[in-house]
Amino acid sequence: MSEKTRWSKTTIIFGGIATWGLLLVGCVMVDRTVLVPPNIAGATYVGSKQCEQCHEENTKHFGDATHAKLALKDNKNVDIGCESCHGPGSLHVKVGGSRATMVNPRKSPEACFQCHLDKRGEFSLPNSHPVLSGKVSCVDCHNVHEGDAVKGTGASMDSQNDTCTKCHSAQKGPFVFEHGAMKEGCTACHNPHGSVNQRMLVARDANLCLRCHLEAPSVAGAGQINANAVLHTPENHNSRLMQGTCWSAGCHEAPHGSNANNHVRR
């Protein structure tokens, strides 16, 4: 459901501050200013090639990683793909590698926030994954060294859900009565980062469900909600919809699927 982000060109550099050239978001061209990579006092960029000698594991599939496509070049035209997240590597390389001389974003999301500033806000919302407190990390859901940065996007939606159900096994199923919505992925109903709504839901009320279960207004009369046609039930929902959410007490309390009832009730 989210806007797919695309990009066309890489980078222009102004004295160390990087600006991503023409990024295509949906159909609109935007200029996005990206903040500088993490800073390491006294260090300069050496380029990703240098990292290969000692970190084959992390480098060998990097070519097809989302962030490699966006690889920055510094003003000496060195490709600083790796260093865009780990900070400049000269000191690290000089001492033959040590933990203290590189930034590791597993320990803190700050390195990611350098460029994805809006994400700090999402993770500060009252209902959000505990990333700021370190209980969950960006890399639990995102690839950094290979492939698409959003894990499990690809052939099947099942694999996208796997990213979530490795921690949330109760929602995994299989259920005797599956809810068709699960094929659209967990993000059909949840914002994976955080939300103002409880349970990180994308909507707080019946609209969560009516986005899919809504008949064209022309059939039911101007703008009137008539969920019945989509739900294929003779039950009139218009009065029920005023009583609360679709998933509150006595109604569709099993939005992920049910083992007892074919209308996602318990």
Residues 216-245 that bind ligand HEC (CB under 6 A): 231-233
Q: Among residues 9, 76, 106, 266, which is the contact residue for ligand HEC, using CB under 6 A? A: 106
Q: Among residues 181, 194, 237, 258, which is the contact residue for ligand HEC, using CB under 6 A? A: 181
Q: Is 174 or 222 the residue whose CB approaches ligand HEC more closely?
A: 174
- Which listed range, 8-16, 138-146, 216-224, 236-244, lies at the site for ligand HEC (CB under 6 A)? 138-146
Q: Is 23 or 220 the residue whose CB approaches ligand HEC more closely?
A: 23
CB distance 143 to 67 below 8 Å:
no
- Which listed range, 8-16, 66-74, 217-225, 236-244, lies at the site for ligand HEC (CB under 6 A)? 66-74
Name every residue whose Cβ is closer than 8 Å to that of residue 133 and which is 6 or more positions away in sequence. none
Distance CA 256, CA 182 (A): 7
Distance CA 38, CA 119 (A): 16
Distance CA 15, CA 250 (A): 62
Q: Is 163 helix (H, G, I), strand (E, B) or coil?
A: helix
Residue 86 contacts ligand HEC per CB under 6 A: yes
One-letter amino acid of 192: P
Q: Among residues 15, 42, 180, 234, which is the contact residue for ligand HEC, using CB under 6 A? A: 180
Q: C-beta of 159: minimal distance to ligand HEC in Å? A: 11
CB distance 84 to 67 below 8 Å:
yes
Residue 203 contacts ligand HEC per CB under 6 A: no
